[in-house]
Amino acid sequence: MEKYADQFNRVINELCDDLGTAYPQDDFFNFAGALLATYNSISPCTCIEKFYVKVNLLYGDKVLSKDEDFFINHDYKDEINKRPFLDKIISRLQTYWKEMNMEDKETVIKYMTTLIKLAKKYHDIKENIK
């Protein structure tokens, strides 16, 4: 079970690194990567568990079907209420998404697909242990 959390944490940090490299004028993604790395070193399973609840259950199907219209037009108001960090991630991704070429969009989708699949495997194993 922990191997999925470790893989998840590695992939989400790679995503932040890649976005930080793609948008060097915006230091937020580097900050987010550093913050997640610190958080994951303290509590390695928390991010994957929260991701499953906040992303997989709500939007997993939308991401897996590559529903770009949903991603750029959904306001996420209920999801980001009282979560300014999440608001910053979503608003930046929505802004940059409009500027990305197809190859970069596919790369982000691959990252998100991998994160969703890892979170599902983690969750399924956790449920079977109960």
pLDDT, one tens digit per residue, over 65-121 is 999 998 888 877 766 666 667 677 878 888 899 999 999 999 999 999 999 999 999
CB 13 within 8 A of CB 37: yes
Q: Find out whether 15 and 118 touch, Cβ atoms under 8 Å.
A: no
Residue 81's pLDDT is: 64
Q: Which bin fits 62, alpha (ψ -120 to 50), beta or left (φ > 0)?
A: alpha
Which amino acid is it at 5? A
Cα-to-chain-centroid distance, residue 5: 13
Among residues 90, 57, 50, 56, the alpha carbon closest in space to that of 71 is found at 90
**In whole angstroms, what is the distance from residue 85 CA to residue 32 CA?**
9
Q: How open is the CA angle 29-122-86, to the nearest 5 degrees?
A: 30
What global pTM score does this model have?
0.90
Q: Percent of the chain beyond pLDDT 90?
A: 62
Mean pLDDT, rounded, for 56-65 = 92
Length of the chain: 130
